[in-house]
Structure 1
């Protein structure tokens, strides 16, 4: 594998990438499931965007979690589980929706981090 690809796309652990990838599949699956056949034909470009966002979602989520870890530190908050689940789903949806824009930040950081070692 090329060193640039290994330092960026291979920069996350396989377990982390696979876990986040599975979570990223929730949104396109839901959208496709809710599509009414024959009503509106979904363009192939939408499915391409779904594939790109789902593939890049783990890197987008990595950026989000890194920022939250930096801001929150070791603090622990006790909140209502339903509220936390809603917030978690909302942040996952945002990270998936904007993965094409957010993930390059994570890929650049991973390249820098793995080049420094």
Structure 2
């Protein structure tokens, strides 16, 4: 494997990547299901964008979790579970929809982090 690819796309742990990839695939399945109900089906451009977003979603989520971890630190908040699940669903959908734009930040950081060693 090329060193640049190994330092960027191979930068996340396998369990973390596959867990986040699974959630990305759930979004793809949901959007495909909703699009299958229409008379026009799924446009090829939308299907391609969903596939790219599903592959980049773990890196997008890595950026989100890193930023939130930096801001929040080790604080613990007690809140309504349904509210927290709703907020988590919203943040996951935003990370999925904008994965094409957010993931390059995570990939650049992973490249920098793994090149530094």
Unaligned ranges ≥5, structure 1: none
Structure 1 distance, partners of 2:2, 2:9, is: 10
- State the Cα distance separating 1:37 from its structure 2 match: 5.1
- State the Cα distance separating 1:112 from its structure 2 match: 0.2
Structure 2 distance, partners of 1:59, 1:73, is: 20
CA RMSD of aligned residues (A): 1.0
**TM-score calculated relative to the size of structure 2:** 0.96
Residues 6-64 of structure 1: CA deviation (Å, up to 9, x unaligned): 00000000100000000111111111112245611322111110000000000000000
1:64 is matched with 64
What is the DSSP-based 3-state SS (H/G/I as helix, E as strand, rest coil) of the residue aligned with 2:78? coil
* Matches for 1:76-95 after TM superposition, within 5 Å: 76-95=76-95
What is the total number of aligned residue pairs between the two structures? 117
Query: Where do 4+ consecutive residues of structure 1 move more than 6 Å?
Result: none
2:51 is matched with 51
* Matches for 1:7-26 after TM superposition, within 5 Å: 7-26=7-26
- 1:115 aligned to 2:77? no
1:34 is matched with 34
What is the DSSP-based 3-state SS (H/G/I as helix, E as strand, rest coil) of the residue aligned with 1:91? helix
**TM-score calculated relative to the size of structure 1:** 0.96
